[in-house]
């Protein structure tokens, strides 16, 4: 059922109620992954590889096991050997065998920090001491960090069973290039020959971490009968259950996962790292085990997103019509195959209505932690290249950058470069709103510049469950199967309240564990407000039908003769009879006498998540002496479908921009010659802080998604797509230098100014 025939009639959706989880979070009462404590609980610690690439010759745990207080030690031998099997349990395809070997190295260590053993002991100090006593003999192997060096002939080979997929004939030799992907539309070579203006560029980005504030943490407890419970912070309790069951050879029904509050994920908590180890240690020791990563562990051993190389060539006519677009992508996957090069290739030109496109991408392994999803995986990397090149094209054509984008913009009916014909999209509307924003009228001073960039993300739906329970006093509990990483409890409560016709304050939203709510795919892909919101709305509709039936029973009339309005049952008309209206609370108080508790649970597999588009405008000032870039103004316009809770939506936009600005200006992993990470902490890996940024102006455009009961589209990922190019284009505007390599940190800006680098443009 669609509830937005007239948005003005909405009473809850679109308002800004107080956050249901706010009080606990600001007072420190919220319970995160590390906060769980059980009687007899042990502390776990991990022995990690000191080498970037090495063969494990032997592991001697005897000294650790002999240490008083040590209750269990596990190595790869304690986990079943997993066959190669692709799975879509988390975000993106993940091979179970690779995941098992990422959690615990089996024959080789593939990056510094790779786990080789784990211990559980009666104190943190004993666990750390025991880990240090584990003796591992290695044969150190040559390593490779850089993506293009990993692709080169003669590069150190990480896996002897990885053969480049997507090429014909199938290669006979193994390679670090795990996959080649290609998307072709039209005839790029022929169209490029007709271009009157061509711009080209080669861009590089560094791997960056999701930098969630809360490190990975969990508590696992396995009973003597094999029943296991896990409390952890993740983006999906069902994902944790599925991965742990597979990696430990357990039944799904033997594992119950309780979702803790989550202190940020951004895609990085769509995998397991600690949970299988904690379960194995608990199973072996017979005691509950808590494991908590340090920040160093997080940097050394959990997935950042890829770094990449992006080569772009755009051809256009003199009036600004892009006739051909070509893109080559080389993405680091980390230690195992599976970079987001495919979505990067698909999204590269999704903002534009183009007839001739060719995108080729390579997925490349190297001696770094296996990458994990990060907001709109891959899209920000290709967008950095594409949107920088579009800016160069605007300059070469002497066109306004928004006008050039308007001329080539994707709209309803455009056949996207990745295939489908687009519908119900709001890209042109974002360009229009950006053009007319007051920030565009602000005059710029010396060394100041303005940059425009756009972005696209698909958004997804998928399997979700939601339940609505009416309490005896007329209050309502909404249960969903998705961890709340961006305000989903608020939006679930609001959608339920809207359907039920009651104030949102009477609805308490919670996140259910794996045994108390139906299966729900993880929180990611900007899917929860769309898909789980659909399940919750439908559950609320079912509850309304029950409430009408209960009123009918009390009045002794037909349920069809009852209307539901503003949380109250009314006779549908004079023919229904004359009765005093029955509010929800009154019906609830008599529910026992009219059939029992009023409750409904709905599970859906939601399809048709509408894609999101954004246009960003960034103003910067560059200090030519130091190379420091100050963000003066930032305007982020986004098609959000329908904002259920606008404050949360604005927060998503502002958060995405902030992470993108960090990616643009500061964040990078620094490896030494031995392939060891030299900046595994927030002092040396610099994420933006509040004083680095102005207030980000988030502008919401609402082009509703007809597939959602309230028109919602995913909003959490698009806002990280344009910022790197928006900042780069602003720097180009400020100082006349095109920056091709991220991060655009002060030394690089200074070096570029010294070199007097000029934008690449050729006719």
Partner 1 sequence: MARVFVSGSVARHLTGGETEFEVKADTVGRLVRELDRRFPGLGNQVEESMAVAIDGVICQDTLMEPIPPNSEIHLIPKIAGG
Residues that bind partner 1 (CB under 8 A): 86, 88, 90-93, 165-166, 168, 180-185, 210, 266-267, 270, 342-343, 346, 373-377, 418-423, 457-460, 462-463, 524-527, 605, 607-609, 707, 714, 717
- Assigned token pair, 350: 């999704």
- CA distance linking residue 438 with residue 454, whole number of Å: 18
Shortest Å distance, C-beta 39 to partner 1? 37
Shortest Å distance, C-beta 454 to partner 1? 19
For partner 1, the closer of residues 90 and 113 by Cβ is 90
Order of strands, edge to edge, in the sheet holding 462-470?
507-511, 476-480, 462-470, 598-606
Shortest Å distance, C-beta 411 to partner 1? 12
Shortest Å distance, C-beta 303 to partner 1? 11
- Assigned token pair, 729: 């284009």
Q: Pairing state of beta strands 308-316 and 197-205?
A: antiparallel
Shortest Å distance, C-beta 669 to partner 1? 18
Rounded to 5 degrees, φ, ψ at 46 are -120, 135
Q: Pairing state of beta strands 86-87 and 462-470?
A: unpaired
For partner 1, the closer of residues 466 and 611 by Cβ is 611
Give the Cβ contact number of residue 157 at 10 Å: 17
For partner 1, the closer of residues 501 and 610 by Cβ is 610
Quick check: 488 and 523 in contact, CB under 8 A?
Answer: yes
Quick check: 177 and 364 in contact, CB under 8 A?
Answer: yes
For partner 1, the closer of residues 12 and 359 by Cβ is 359
Shortest Å distance, C-beta 414 to partner 1? 10
- CA distance linking residue 696 with residue 706, whole number of Å: 29
**Cα distances (angstroms) measured from residue 757 to each of 224, 397, 585, 753, 760:** 67, 20, 70, 7, 9
For partner 1, the closer of residues 360 and 500 by Cβ is 360
- CA distance linking residue 193 with residue 201, whole number of Å: 18
Rg (Cα) of the chain, in Å, rounded?
Answer: 27
Of the residues 261, 541, 650, 717, only one is catalytic, namely 717
Give the Cβ contact number of residue 256 at 10 Å: 18
Q: What is the largest CA-CA distance in the chain?
A: 88
For partner 1, the closer of residues 20 and 307 by Cβ is 307
* 3-state secondary structure at position 517: coil
Residues in the chain: 763
Quick check: 685 and 763 in contact, CB under 8 A?
Answer: no
The 3 state secondary structure assigned to 123-180 is CHHHHHHHHHHCEEEEEECCCCCCHHHHHCCCCCCCCCCCCCECCCCCCCCCCCEEEE
CA 423 to chain centre: 24
Which residues in 169-191 are b (16+ Cβ under 10 Å) and which e?
A: eeeeeebbbbbebebebbebeeb
- CA distance linking residue 566 with residue 563, whole number of Å: 10
- CA distance linking residue 396 with residue 318, whole number of Å: 9
DSSP label of 307? P
Shortest Å distance, C-beta 22 to partner 1? 24
Q: Which residues pair with 493 in a beta bridge?
A: none
Shortest Å distance, C-beta 716 to partner 1? 8
- Binning the chain into helix, strand and coil, the percentages to the nearest 5 are 30, 25, 45
For partner 1, the closer of residues 91 and 667 by Cβ is 91
- Assigned token pair, 400: 């306004």
* 3-state secondary structure at position 504: helix
Shortest Å distance, C-beta 753 to partner 1? 34
CA 38 to chain centre: 31
For partner 1, the closer of residues 242 and 497 by Cβ is 242
For partner 1, the closer of residues 271 and 731 by Cβ is 271
Shortest Å distance, C-beta 364 to partner 1? 17
Quick check: 360 and 310 in contact, CB under 8 A?
Answer: no
Shortest Å distance, C-beta 95 to partner 1? 12
- CA distance linking residue 550 with residue 132, whole number of Å: 66
For partner 1, the closer of residues 180 and 542 by Cβ is 180
Quick check: 387 and 725 in contact, CB under 8 A?
Answer: yes
717 is catalytic: yes
For partner 1, the closer of residues 229 and 332 by Cβ is 332
Shortest Å distance, C-beta 183 to partner 1? 6
For partner 1, the closer of residues 347 and 635 by Cβ is 347
Please choose, from the candidates 723, 720, 722, 756, the residue with its C-alpha nearest in 3D space to the C-alpha of residue 738: 756
- Catalytic residues, by residue number, are 717
């Amino acid at each position: 059922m669609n509830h937005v025939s007239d948005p003005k009639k909405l009473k809850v959706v679109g308002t800004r109620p107080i956050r249901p989880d706010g009080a606990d979070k600001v007072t420190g009462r919220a319970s995160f992954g590390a906060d769980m404590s059980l009687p007899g609980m042990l502390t776990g610690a991990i022995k990690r590889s000191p080498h970037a690439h090495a063969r494990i010759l032997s592991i001697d745990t005897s000294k650790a096991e002999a240490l008083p207080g040590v209750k269990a030690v596990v190595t790869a031998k304690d986990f079943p050997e997993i066959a190669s099997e692709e799975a879509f349990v988390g975000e993106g395809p993940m091979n179970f065998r690779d995941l098992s070997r990422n959690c615990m190295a089996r024959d080789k260590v593939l990056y510094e920090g790779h786990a080789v053993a784990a211990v559980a002991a009666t104190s943190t100090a004993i666990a750390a001491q025991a880990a240090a006593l584990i003796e591992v003999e290695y044969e150190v192997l040559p390593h490779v960090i850089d993506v293009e060096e990993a692709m080169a002939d003669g590069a150190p080979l990480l896996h002897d069973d990885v053969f480049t997929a997507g090429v014909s004939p199938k290669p006979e030799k193994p390679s670090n290039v795990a996959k080649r992907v290609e998307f072709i539309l039209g005839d790029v070579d022929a169209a490029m020959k007709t271009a009157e203006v061509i711009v080209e560029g080669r861009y590089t980005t560094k791997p960056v971490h999701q930098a969630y504030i809360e490190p990975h943490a969990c508590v696992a407890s396995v009973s003597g009968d094999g029943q296991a419970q896990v409390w952890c912070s993740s983006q999906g309790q069902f994902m944790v259950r599925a991965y742990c069951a597979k990696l430990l050879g357990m039944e799904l029904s033997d594992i119950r996962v309780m979702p803790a509050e989550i202190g940020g994920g951004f895609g990085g908590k769509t995998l397991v790292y600690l949970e299988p180890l904690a379960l194995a240690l608990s199973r072996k020791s017979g005691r509950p085990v808590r494991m908590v990563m340090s920040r160093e562990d997080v940097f050394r051993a959990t997935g950042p997103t890829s770094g990449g190389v992006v080569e772009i060539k755009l051809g256009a006519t003199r009036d600004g019509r892009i006739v051909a677009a070509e893109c080559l992508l080389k993405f680091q996957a980390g230690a195992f195959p599976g970079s987001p090069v495919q979505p990067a290739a698909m999204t590269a030109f999704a903002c534009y209505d183009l007839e001739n496109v060719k995108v080729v991408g390579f997925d490349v392994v190297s001696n770094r932690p296996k990458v994990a999803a990060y907001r709109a995986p891959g899209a920000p990397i290709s967008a950095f290249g594409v949107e920088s090149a579009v800016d160069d094209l605007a300059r070469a054509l002497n066109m306004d950058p928004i006008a050039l984008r308007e001329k080539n913009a994707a709209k309803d009916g455009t056949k996207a470069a990745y295939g489908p014909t687009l519908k119900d999209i709001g890209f042109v509307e974002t360009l229009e709103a950006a053009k007319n924003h007051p920030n565009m009228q602000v005059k710029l001073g010396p060394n100041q510049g303005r940059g425009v960039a756009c972005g696209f993300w698909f958004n997804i739906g998928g399997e979700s469950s939601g339940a609505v329970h009416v309490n005896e006093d007329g209050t309502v509990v909404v249960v969903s199967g998705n961890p709340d990483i961006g305000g989903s409890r608020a939006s679930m409560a609001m959608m339920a309240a809207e359907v039920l016709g009651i104030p949102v304050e009477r609805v308490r939203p919670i996140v259910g564990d794996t045994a108390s709510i139906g299966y729900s795919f993880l929180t990611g892909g900007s899917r929860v407000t769309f898909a789980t919101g659909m399940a919750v709305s439908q559950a609320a509709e079912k509850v309304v039908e029950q409430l009408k039936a209960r009123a009918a029973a009390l009045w002794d009339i037909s349920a069809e003769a009852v209307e539901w309005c503003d949380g109250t049952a009314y006779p549908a008309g004079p023919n229904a009879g004359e009765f005093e209206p029955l509010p929800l609370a009154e019906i609830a108080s008599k529910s026992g006498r009219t059939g029992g508790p009023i409750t409904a649970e709905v599970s859906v597999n939601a399809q048709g998540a509408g894609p999101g588009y954004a246009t960003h405008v960034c103003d910067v000032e560059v200090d030519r002496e130091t190379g420091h870039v100050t963000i003066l103004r930032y305007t982020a316009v986004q098609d959000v479908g329908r904002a259920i809770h606008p404050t949360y939506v604005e927060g998503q936009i502002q958060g995405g921009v902030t992470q993108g600005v960090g990616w643009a200006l500061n964040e990078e992993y620094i490896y030494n010659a031995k392939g060891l990470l030299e900046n595994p902490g927030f002092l040396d890996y610099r994420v933006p802080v509040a004083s680095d940024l102005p207030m980000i102006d988030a502008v919401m455009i609402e082009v509703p998604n007809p597939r959602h009961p309230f028109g919602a589209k995913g909003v959490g990922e698009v806002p990280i797509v344009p910022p790197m190019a928006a900042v780069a284009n602003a720097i180009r505007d400020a100082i006349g230098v095109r920056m091709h390599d991220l991060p655009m940190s002060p030394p690089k800006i200074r070096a570029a100014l010294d070199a007097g680098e000029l934008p690449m443009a050729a006719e």
